[in-house]
């Protein structure tokens, strides 16, 4: 089969409760977060074989996200960087990662649905890499 130009595996708006934040209350009580990730993966073989071994399992990606969300950090930048590194280490066939973490209702005195960070990494970039 011909390789497709762009193939992606994604998880959208995965909700976690975690204790990330600069404020002591955030680290003690925690808050809710939404994580989304899109991975560039050539799964053209899986389209033919119907075998999960020929792709990246989004269930496995979820377990990595869950593991990193359980490690308390002050900054979402740190959490996002760890997630990207964990995905890259676990799945060397991934060619790009777009990952966002959104803190729901952040404690900053603003009427705001959420605030967060986004990382876009590509194996084609030669500039600063994550991890």
Residue pLDDT, tens place only, 104-124: 988 777 788 889 999 999 988
**pLDDT score, position 97:** 98
Q: Among residues of the chain, what percentage have pLDDT more than 90? A: 75
Report the length, in residues, of the chain: 131
Q: Which listed residue (5, 66, 85, 103) is catalytic?
A: 103
**pLDDT score, position 102:** 97
**Can you tell me the mean pLDDT for 65-83?**
97
User: What 3-state class would DSSP assign to 55?
Assistant: coil
| 15 φ/ψ angles, rounded to the nearest 5 degrees | -90, 135
**pLDDT score, position 127:** 46
Is the pLDDT reported for residue 3 higher than 70? no
**pLDDT score, position 2:** 55
Q: Do 54 and 43 meet the contact criterion of CB atoms below 8 Å apart?
A: yes
**pLDDT score, position 125:** 62
Which carries the bigger pLDDT value, residue 24 or residue 87? Answer: 87
**pLDDT score, position 34:** 98
**pLDDT score, position 99:** 98
Q: Do 71 and 86 meet the contact criterion of CB atoms below 8 Å apart?
A: no
Q: Do 36 and 13 meet the contact criterion of CB atoms below 8 Å apart?
A: yes
**pLDDT score, position 36:** 98
**Can you tell me the mean pLDDT for 72-80?**
97
Check if 113 is active-site: no
Predicted TM-score (pTM) above 0.75: yes
Question: What is the DSSP code (8-state) at residue 48?
Answer: H
**Can you tell me the mean pLDDT for 18-25?**
91
Q: Helix H segments across 30-97?
A: 44-49, 58-69, 76-90
Q: Do 56 and 1 meet the contact criterion of CB atoms below 8 Å apart?
A: no
Output b/e per residue, 96-122; b: 16+ Cβ within 10 A: bbbbbbbbeebeeeeeeeeebbebebe
């Amino acid at each position: 089969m011909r390789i497709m130009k762009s193939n992606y595996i994604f998880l959208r708006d995965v909700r976690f409760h975690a204790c990330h934040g600069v404020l002591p209350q955030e680290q003690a009580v925690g808050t809710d977060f939404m994580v989304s990730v899109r991975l560039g993966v050539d799964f053209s073989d899986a389209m033919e074989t119907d075998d999960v071994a020929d792709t990246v399992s989004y269930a496995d990606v979820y377990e990595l996200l869950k593991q990193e969300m359980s490690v308390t950090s002050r900054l979402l930048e740190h959490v996002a960087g760890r997630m990207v590194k964990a995905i890259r280490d676990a799945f060397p066939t991934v060619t790009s990662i777009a990952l966002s973490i959104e803190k729901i209702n952040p404690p900053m005195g603003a009427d705001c649905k959420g605030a967060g960070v986004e990382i876009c990494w590509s194996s084609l970039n030669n500039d600063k890499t994550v991890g």
